[in-house]
């Protein structure tokens, strides 16, 4: 059987199983969606967002790109953010990176690894800048894989920071104290997720008060 034939067949099996455990599920989902969280993850085939946290259809609004990046000038991620915050009013935004990320590794390795992939190269520009800024810190690690995993964490933190500085997010914090921003890292070797960073509306209040006082 061809791979794509298998996928279509498996879809029917999946739909039957879903219906067997929750007979109303598709009628309910057909009515609309009200997900609690926006997930911004990497495209990597080994990090399937819903499966690794046992989320059901309708629970996560998902955007994935190589190395889970937020670009203000990228209409794709910006439109997803706008819709998730304004229309769906999600309570959480999760930025999920993963250890051993190929996108991060390409940015860390440098050289001409990305020469044949100009779109990927352009997309990873901000990771390459992050690597250049943290050059001394990264020199501590002798193994490339340790360096990559450290940048995976730094990158997740940088994306959460970037989100916290967007007017879309700060306006929503002021209006309804949400969404909270979570930076997570997934470990391919164990299948475990961990939170490495978090930002909430209260943090912004303190910073704005300090800025006003100072
Ligand atoms: Zn990746």
Q: For residue range 66-100, what is the model confidence (pLDDT) as tens digits? A: 999 999 889 999 999 999 999 999 999 999 999 99
Q: Distance (Å, rounded) from C-alpha 64 to C-alpha 95? A: 10
Domain with CATH 3.40.1050.10 in the chain: 34-213
Q: Distance (Å, rounded) from C-alpha 139 to C-alpha 147? A: 8
Cα of 196 to ligand 1 centre, how many Å?
17
Q: Among 41-55, 93-107, 132-146, 190-204, name the one with the lowest average pLDDT.
A: 190-204
Percent of the chain with pLDDT over 90: 89
By annotation, the residues acting in catalysis are: 42, 44, 46, 98, 101
Fold observed for domain 34-213: Beta-carbonic Anhydrase; Chain A (3.40.1050)
pLDDT band of residue 186 (cuts 50, 70, 90) is very high
Cα of 101 to ligand 1 centre, how many Å?
4
pLDDT band of residue 202 (cuts 50, 70, 90) is confident
Cα of 46 to ligand 1 centre, how many Å?
9
**pLDDT of 177 above 80:** yes
Cα of 81 to ligand 1 centre, how many Å?
20
pLDDT band of residue 53 (cuts 50, 70, 90) is very high
Q: Is 196 helix (H, G, I), strand (E, B) or coil?
A: strand
Cα of 131 to ligand 1 centre, how many Å?
16
Cα of 208 to ligand 1 centre, how many Å?
34
Q: What is the pLDDT of residue 209?
A: 76
Mean pLDDT, all residues of the chain? 95
Q: What is the pLDDT of residue 2?
A: 95
Q: What is the pLDDT of residue 213?
A: 78
Q: What is the pLDDT of residue 172?
A: 96
**pLDDT of 205 above 80:** no
The residues near 13 (Cβ < 8 Å, ≥ 6 apart) are: none
Q: What is the pLDDT of residue 110?
A: 87
């Amino acid at each position: 059987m061809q791979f794509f034939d298998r996928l279509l067949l498996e879809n029917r099996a999946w739909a039957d199983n879903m219906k067997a455990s929750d007979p109303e599920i598709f009628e309910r989902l057909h009515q609309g969606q009200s997900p609690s969280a926006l997930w911004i993850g990497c495209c990597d085939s080994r990090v399937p967002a819903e499966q690794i946290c046992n989320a059901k259809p309708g629970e996560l609004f998902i955007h994935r790109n190589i190395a889970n990046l937020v670009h203000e000038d990228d209409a794709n991620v910006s439109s997803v953010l706008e819709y998730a915050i304004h229309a769906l009013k999600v309570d959480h935004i999760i930025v999920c990176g993963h250890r051993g990320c190929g996108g991060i590794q390409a940015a860390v390795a440098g050289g001409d690894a990305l020469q044949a992939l100009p779109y990927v190269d352009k997309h990873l520009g901000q990771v390459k800048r992050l690597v250049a800024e943290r050059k001394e810190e990264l020199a501590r690690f002798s193994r490339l894989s340790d360096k990559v995993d450290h940048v995976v964490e730094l990158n997740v933190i940088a994306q959460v920071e970037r989100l916290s500085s967007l007017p879309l997010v700060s306006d929503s914090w002021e209006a309804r104290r949400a969404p909270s921003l979570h930076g997570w890292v997934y470990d391919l070797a164990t299948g475990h997720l961990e939170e490495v960073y978090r930002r909430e509306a209260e943090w912004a209040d303190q910073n704005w008060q300090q800025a006003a006082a100072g």
